[in-house]
Amino acid sequence: MIEIEKTGTPAVPIVSGRFVEDAVASTRAFGMPSLQWVEVPRIYRNLEHDLCRSQTADVIDELIGQLTSGMDARVSDIDTVGGRTYEADDRYEAVLAMNDDLISEDLGDGLPLFPATRDAVEEMLTGTNLPPDHVVCDMPPGFGIATVEKIAINSVMAGAKPEHLPVVIAAVKAISNIQADGGKSLLMSTSPQAPFLIVNGPIIDELGFNARSAIGPGRDNLVNTVVGRAFAMCFRNIGYWYPGKMDMDTIGTTRKFVQCVAENEEMSPWDPFHVDQGFDRDESTVSLFITDGELDQQDQGNTTAEGLLKNLAYGCVFGTKSIQDKGHTQRLILMPPDVAGPVGKQEFTKRAAREYIQQNASHSLGKMIHYMPLEGEARVAEKWKWLENLTEEQRLEIEFPVMDSADDCYILVVGADRAKTAIFPSGPSPVTEGIDQYRA
């Protein structure tokens, strides 16, 4: 509606009840805080037609009034004021008071935060060669200005160390380059899309990133966890990615704590991912994917490359096939060494493995599109309209690839021993950012 207003045409959106706070935050973030709207109680997407009509009729007079009246900017409760002070009899009590305050205002992730004192922030800034006021990017989805100092403040609260800061800066820069709008529509969706970070290069060993059981908790994943958390804190407090405001997820996901892993380059039969992305092997990078779910794909005894890859191809078919104009269906595959090793030794290049998976990852088209009705549905892309002329039985009989090409399949070697592969629906295409340019 803001884009329509920019063309000179008055617009008044209809906002479903739980999206009001999101609308306030969004109009401010996208440059039109005076945009007016009317509110209805129910979300339209799965609402019966009679209720769609009746709740719309109830607000028609108000909608006309908004179109013909003056407009004042709405007020947001997002606090953009600077420093805070917490006093108590001892430091521990002051830290507890700080946590009660920040977490109650949803400025944290629900876990205890470290105090971002001036001394702590200044120490954090020693990890980078950039000045504190350097603008790294405007950070989606709310497009707050991500200065080095703001990134450092959030990194301190997450428990990061100065040497971690360049990785966090690179990840923040990467998210701003996801699609033309920084992935704004994805990140604000009611689906559980979340960033996923993968580190490559010499920095893995230098900082102690774990490339084996890399997503789990514990001592071995301390660096993975802290860097992912620091990025997630930036996402919240710089990108305004607050639940119920600019993150409208229906159920939620633990992936929104933001997972960070390293590729197991030593046990990979292929070039690491950042080399695929055009970087040199001795450069350190962080790649940012947007994931939308996770599946543990077991393998119980396959030893041939074809058997292992067919099993992974089957794992890739879970989920839906997009029949909208929303780009390609993609898959991120974290392949453990016990799968990658045999596949590579049997003369499969990574490209050949991707092609084999894509060719074998096919499923009943009818089943994959059950999520969306076809008849009279405006969201169905024109190239899929032919499906309307088929019976459901005919649609079910059509075998169709989940991914349009091998370029939609990403393989990274991650994990310890055992043939258990993690498969994530993903997209849009990942962004890889160099880390070394940000190091002190």
Whole-number Å distance between alpha carbons of 190 and 251? 8
What pLDDT does 71 receive? 64
Whole-number Å distance between alpha carbons of 155 and 170? 13
Full-prediction pTM beyond 0.75?
yes
pLDDT digit of tens for each residue in the chain (440 aa)?
888 988 988 899 999 878 888 888 888 888 888 888 999 999 887 889 899 999 999 999 999 988 887 766 666 555 556 678 898 999 999 999 999 999 999 999 999 999 999 999 999 999 999 999 999 999 999 999 999 999 999 999 999 999 999 999 999 999 999 987 767 777 888 889 999 999 999 999 999 999 999 998 999 999 999 999 999 999 999 999 998 888 999 999 999 999 999 999 999 999 999 999 999 999 999 999 999 999 999 998 899 999 999 999 999 998 888 888 766 789 999 999 999 999 999 999 999 999 999 999 999 999 998 888 887 656 788 888 899 889 999 999 999 999 999 999 999 999 998 889 999 999 899 999 999 999 99
What pLDDT does 436 receive? 98
Quick check: 383 and 276 in contact, CB under 8 A?
no
What pLDDT does 390 receive? 92
Closest to 12 (Cα-Cα) out of 85, 64, 58: 64
Amino acid code (one letter) for 212? R
Whole-number Å distance between alpha carbons of 399 and 359? 11
Where is 40: in which H helix or E strand?
Answer: strand 38-40
Whole-number Å distance between alpha carbons of 271 and 365? 34
What pLDDT does 377 receive? 58
Quick check: 337 and 414 in contact, CB under 8 A?
no
Where is 400: in which H helix or E strand?
Answer: strand 399-401
Closest to 44 (Cα-Cα) out of 24, 59, 61: 59
Phi, psi of 147 (to 5 degrees): -85, 160
Quick check: 117 and 213 in contact, CB under 8 A?
no
Amino acid code (one letter) for 199? V
What pLDDT does 431 receive? 97
